[in-house]
Amino acid sequence: MHLHLSTWAEVEQFLQRSRVIVVPIGSNEQHGPTGLLGTDWLCPEIIAREAEKRAEILVAPTFNIGMAQHHLAFAGTISLRPSTFIAAISDWVRSLAGHGFEKILFLNGHGGNVASIEAAFSEIYAESSFAARRAGVALKLCNWWDLEGVGELARDLFPTGHGAHATPSEIAITQWAFPDAIKLADYAPLIAPSGPIREALDFRARYPDGRIGSNPGLATPEKGRALVELAAQSLVRELEAFGSETQPD
């Protein structure tokens, strides 16, 4: 079930059966010469949609703009400031919690989001802690590549040249979902350099084509299918475990 394709009455009925929702979250940023700008929000959305086919889960609209200031020297990147991102996440959570959702899992597709998502969770919990009351909502962050078995499969599929950005695993997922959008390029060097991530101009100088330690040319739609199928199965189990957590008295 998808929140944006449902009516308010259908959501109220769902809340009688479950108080769990998954929010795909990512970023719209450069992914090297061949990676789609939407890669980091498309991957969690694709996985969540596949999981929804396997179990009765509710998928929220994708939070598709994240904290990507370090990619702003590349055309097409859109970024929020960390403070804006934290405030927006907090408002999403307050909206959903106000309707009765008690477990909200953010399925993340961008490593640069992690610190700000966790900070948003801390801000939300702090409001309740300082007021000496329960938050009424449990929040969970899960990167899609950390879902059970996914990291191991990615290492098996790409033993070299996986890297940290514009990775063949994320490119493969988008290739599987959007075969008509597959791009090709000659990479030089074949495996991109690695190093620190700071501000935008420093990033562009260190990584001229946008990749970090990766060779996206290793990606194939078939490998993407294997990653999505495993990730979707793991997400269903993750949501079941999260939903079964009990609150202490």
C-alpha 50/C-alpha 36 separation (Å) is 20
Provide, rounded to the nearest whole percent, the portion of the chain with pLDDT above 70. 100
Cβ atoms 194, 176 nearer than 8 A: no
Q: What is the dihedral of CA 93, 96, 99, 103, to 10 degrees?
A: -80
* Backbone conformation region of residue 6, classed left if phi is above 0, alpha if psi is from -120 to 50, else beta: beta
Q: Rg for the chain (alpha carbons), in Å?
A: 19
The residue extents of the domains of the chain are: 6-244
pLDDT at 247: 78
Q: What is the dihedral of CA 197, 28, 108, 15, to 10 degrees?
A: 150
Quote the DSSP letter at residue 198.
-
Q: What pTM does this model have?
A: 0.97
pLDDT of 88 strictly over 90: yes
pLDDT of 249 strictly over 80: no
Classify domain 6-244 by CATH number.
3.40.50.10310
- What token pair was written down for 191? 């495996």
pLDDT at 248: 77
pLDDT level of residue 193 (50, 70, 90 thresholds) = very high
pLDDT of 56 strictly over 80: yes
Q: Tell the residue number behind the tokens 């294997």, with chain if given.
A: 226
pLDDT of 222 strictly over 80: yes
Strands 20-25 and 103-108: parallel
Helix or strand holding residue 79 (H, E) = none
* pLDDT one-digit tens code per residue, 103-126: 999 999 999 999 999 999 999 999
Quote the DSSP letter at residue 83.
H
What secondary structure does DSSP assign to 85-97, as a single string?
Answer: HHHHHHHHHHHHH
C-alpha 188/C-alpha 172 separation (Å) is 20
C-alpha 89/C-alpha 125 separation (Å) is 13
Helix or strand holding residue 143 (H, E) = strand 138-143
